Amino acid sequence: MTRQLNKGVLRGGTRRIGTRRVRTRWIIMGWILAAGLWVSPVCGLASDLISDLTLSKAVETALSSNPGLQAAGFGILSAQEKVIQARSGAMPQVQLQGQSSRTTNPMWAFGTKLNQESITAQDFDPGRLNHPDGITNYSSGIFVAWPVYDSGQTWYGLQQAHLNKEAAALFDEHTRQQVIAQTITAYIGALFARENQRVIQQILETAHSHLKLVQSRYNGGFVAKSDLLRAQVQIADLDQQLAEAKSQVDIAKCRLNVAMGVGGDATYTLSSPLEAGDPIVGSLDTWIATALSNRPDLKHLAFQQQIAQKEIDKSMASRNPSVNLTGNYEVNSEEFDDSATNYTIGAVVSMPLFTGGRISAKIREAQINLKQTKAMLRGMEQQICGEARQAFFNSQSAWERIQVNQAAVGQSQESLRIVKNRYNSGLFTITDLLDAQLMVQQSLTHKIKAVHDYRLAATRLALAAGTIDPP
């Protein structure tokens, strides 16, 4: 009997322990599922980055994530709020005010009784007038002030606010174009770093095949050991170049991440090829004229010039009279059980007769600021012409280099083939072989460098002309 009870207890205990384990597993699985659902959006963002990245996708990412462009967008919103602030200067200003006070000042005590409409004949007693009892007053009122004409300050301020809003939109467009150019430049730089790594890797593989050739001839006693050592040194040098090229790839991608406004640890594969594209069309004069008419930063500075001119008009108008309408409705009470009301309506006209030279100095300051803006505008026009010229000439030079280097690559590769055969026949030295190998590396590097330089020059020319758009 005892043995059966013990067995029953053991079996029951086993069932309870098993049930707890099952519950624990379900709880753990529930937490894992919840964590997976919570983490999945984050992983989804990461998977978007760990993918093929085209040039157009990189620019699209930059336009949506670059902090500088976002800051420029906030500048537009800020300028819109300044327009509302400037317009409010012509609107009536209404305020609600409450006040509590207690005084024994003879004048204020008598005036408070008048406001409370509680004055009596006894209050005219000289003793009470000179030594009044303390009196408490609770007052509340609505105060209205309407600047009918404030010497044109609100009018000119509103015009300046509208001009500043237009200038903010132009600054946003200029920032947008800069972000596009920076992203394209960084992307092309990353492509060049990748292609340069491939060139070095290709030359390194060629050098290893040459090393086998030299090793075979050395083993056969046809060349000295110095040939073998020189080939090994050449491979060591290429290994160092390859390590540096890999580092440059990482650095170029880091710059691209900064341009796009994404995290520095984002990984992706550049899927757009490093191609020259079409040649630049149009004369230099056409590009300069386009730049002077389209550059958003030049237009932005032109709006700043108009704002400076409005500041002169605003400063000169401050000498004019101003007219304000005022009014208030007030309630006064001592104990809240009884109250008295009153109102006041009035108009105020004022004109500055002497300000200690403040207005004149303000006008001169505005005139100086206008001259400064005009000088900056002329300087920017010259700078734009210089940027367009430099980018135009660089693009022409790079395009010509592309044509030359395309032929040079084939010539250097054919030369290496001939030299390799001659070296294998004992007609050329190891120096000839290494020189031919170096010429192939240089021609391949010069080719991709010319394409890289042309794409950068074309991008800078479009930026200088103010016509750059997402690819």
pLDDT in tens, 58-114: 999 999 999 999 999 999 999 999 999 999 999 999 999 999 999 999 999 999 988
pLDDT at 338: 79
- Specify whether the CB–CB gap between 471 and 277 falls below 8 A: no
What confidence category does residue 316 fall into, taking pLDDT thresholds of 50, 70 and 90? very high
- pLDDT computed for residue 51 by the predictor: 77
| Number of separate helices (H) and strands (E) present in the chain | 11, 6
**For range 392-413, the mean pLDDT:** 91
Average pLDDT taken over every residue of the chain: 87
What's the pLDDT band for 23 if we cut at 50, 70, 90? very low
Model confidence pLDDT, tens digit, residues 219-274: 988 888 998 899 899 999 999 999 999 999 999 999 999 999 987 677 889 999 99
Query: Rounded to an integer, what is the distance from CA 148 to the centroid of its chain?
Result: 42
> Is the pLDDT assigned to residue 424 strictly greater than 80?
yes
Q: Which of 9-18, 145-154, 255-264 bottoms out in mean pLDDT, i.e. has the lowest?
A: 9-18
Task: Identify the pLDDT of residue 32.
Answer: 35
According to DSSP, residue 96 is labeled E
Tokens encoding 23: 């519950």
pLDDT at 267: 81
User: How many percent of the chain have pLDDT more than 70?
Assistant: 89
Do 276 and 153 meet the contact criterion of CB atoms below 8 Å apart? Answer: no
CA geometry: angle at 400 spanning 398 and 406, to 5°? 100
Q: Which helix (H) or strand (E) holds 348?
A: strand 340-350
* Mean pLDDT, residues 129-136 taken together: 90
Give all domains of the chain, ordered by start, each with its CATH number.
57-92+150-321+355-465 (1.20.1600.10)
pLDDT in tens, 165-175: 999 999 999 99
More confident residue, 42 or 338: 338
pLDDT of residue 21: 42
CA–CA distance from 378 to each of 160, 164, 281, 292, 371 (Å)?
22, 20, 28, 11, 11
What residue type is 65 in one-letter code?
S
CA–CA gap between residue 198 and residue 196 (Å, rounded): 5
Q: Region 366-380: what's the mean pLDDT?
A: 97
| pLDDT value of position 35 | 37
β-sheet bridge partners, residue 98: 140
DSSP 279: P
pLDDT at 121 over 90: no
10 pLDDT higher than 90? no
Amino acid at 444: L
**264: which DSSP letter?**
T
Instruction: Please report which helix (H) or strand (E) contains residue 427, including its range.
Output: none
Q: Of how many residues is the chain composed? A: 471
How far is residue 471 from each of residues 157, 272, 467, measured CA to CA in Å?
41, 11, 12
pLDDT above 60 for 36: no
Q: What is the DSSP string of 121-150?
A: GGGGSHHHHHSPPPEEEEEEEEEEEEEEEE
